Amino acid sequence: MTGTIRIYFGPSVAVSIEVTSWVSGDGSLQWTKSVNQNWQCQFVLRDLDGTLLTALSGRLVVLQPYWITETISAVQTVRFSGLITQVVEQGYQGTKGALTFSITGGGWSTVCDHRVITQVYDAGQTSLAVITDIFNNTIASDGITFADVDGFTLTPQPLTFNPSTVTDA
């Protein structure tokens, strides 16, 4: 069964701008993961007449959320999502005003790689209290949620993050 791939830019699929029609060439898009690295997604958008930039209010920005979905038999499933980590803009084959955008995006862990925490947590706190504090003070406003935390495990010794990324914490 063949599905339809779509790409969206925005805070969620429901509240976003579909950019699928601007995907370059054969529509190739790839996601990869190297050892000890986060997932990455790469694709190229081609804007021959300025309509892409108009649809995106004139900008493609790093740390903008994106979503890649696949629809099979009218069921849409998110296959990859995260934040744009790099945008390379180039002119397109000498065509005046035409641009290509090589997009690299990471998964949602990208947010945690860019947030730093400097904090000491006393021994005896629950893991849920530590995780909740880190979450509330660093990434809660980025649309990330957490679940299934064993909140009853106690920290046996003080935890010192000075400084550490949220990923490392």
The 8-class DSSP code of residue 137 comes to H
pLDDT value at 150 more than 70: no
pLDDT value at 122 more than 70: yes
CA distance 48 to 150: 51
Q: Which of 2, 51, 9, 43 is nearest to 26 (CA)?
A: 43
pLDDT tens digit sequence for 25-83:
655 677 777 777 778 888 888 888 888 888 887 777 777 888 888 888 888 888 888 88
Check if CATH label 3.40.50 holds for domain 4-107.
no
What is the model's pLDDT at position 112? 80
Tell me the mean pLDDT in the region 140-159: 77
Could you state, in order of their start, the residue ranges of all structural domains in the chain? 4-107, 116-165
